[in-house]
């Protein structure tokens, strides 16, 4: 890796890297509600540049649902140059890469019970996903433990687990995590044989970071390695894209 001129940030990788990027809290700032986030207008262009210069080895690894993640990142309707591992790796969408075996979603009765629980507690927000759901309590922090306990009681003895997130508790299938997503993508081109770099900010990102390290790469966490948060991450990625472009321009042309 080459030394990064942005002080205190990780060294820039070379063009043999594969990037695995969390979204909320890593590429963009967390908002009061999942639907209130602000996406920098130049983020889709940056992701496209990185994908082009790393042979397509860029993946958004997020807890968001696939279609929401596609919309927020400005992914083109066809031929998106970067990959997605949505719902913590339950959903893989990448050109030429097969999906993971599809897990079962929670029973309809669980979804109905979660909606009723949220309705009884103003300020609690239910976020639906294909294979699970989330109770957000950022607006009512005092409800955090009650929301998590409600989901833990629901999931007890089932094929689901409850994980903490930023001011939220999420129910998702057992075995679905960001580490399994990294492992799956690293088996297939264009990720195979590259050095994985995972950047995240939450406990759910630790599995992805560990998987990247097991493949000889690195796991970086916000804010420990990126003190200014997503702004630092985007600046680091921009510098990487610019450096790779400069290296491309300086390569001799072949007749």
Catalytic residues: 22
> In the chain, how long is the greatest CA-to-CA distance?
71
Structural tokens at position 94: 């990448």
C-alpha angle 208-184-15 in degrees, rounded to nearest 5 = 70
C-alpha angle 232-65-229 in degrees, rounded to nearest 5 = 10
Beta strand 125-128 with 58-61 is: unpaired
Structural tokens at position 193: 């044989």
From CA 206, how far away is CA 177, in angstroms rounded?
9
With beta carbons less than 8 A apart as the criterion, state whether 62 and 24 touch.
yes
């Amino acid at each position: 890796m080459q030394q990064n001129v942005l002080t205190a940030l990780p060294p820039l990788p070379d063009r043999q890297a594969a990037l695995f990027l969390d979204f909320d809290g890593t590429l963009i700032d967390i908002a009061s509600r999942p639907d209130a986030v602000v996406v920098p207008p130049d983020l889709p262009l940056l992701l496209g540049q990185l994908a082009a210069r790393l042979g397509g080895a860029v993946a958004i690894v997020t807890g968001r649902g696939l279609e929401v993640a596609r919309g927020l990142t400005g992914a083109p309707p066809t031929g998106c140059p970067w990959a997605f591992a949505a719902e913590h790796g339950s959903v893989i969408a990448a050109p030429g890469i097969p999906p993971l075996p599809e897990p079962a979603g929670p029973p309809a009765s669980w979804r109905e019970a979660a909606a009723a629980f949220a309705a009884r507690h103003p300020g609690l927000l239910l976020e639906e996903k294909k294979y699970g759901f989330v109770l957000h309590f950022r607006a009512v922090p005092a409800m955090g433990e009650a929301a998590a306990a409600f989901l833990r009681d629901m999931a007890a003895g089932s094929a689901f687990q409850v994980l903490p997130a930023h001011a939220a508790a999420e129910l998702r299938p057992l075995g679905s995590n960001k580490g399994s997503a990294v492992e799956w993508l690293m088996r297939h081109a264009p990720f195979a044989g590259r050095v994985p770099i995972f950047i995240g900010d939450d406990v759910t990102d630790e599995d992805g970071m560990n998987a990247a390290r097991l493949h000889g790469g690195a796991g970086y966490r916000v804010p420990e390695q990126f003190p200014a948060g997503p702004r630092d991450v985007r600046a680091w990625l921009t510098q990487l894209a610019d450096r790779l472009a400069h290296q491309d321009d300086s390569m001799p042309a072949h007749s």
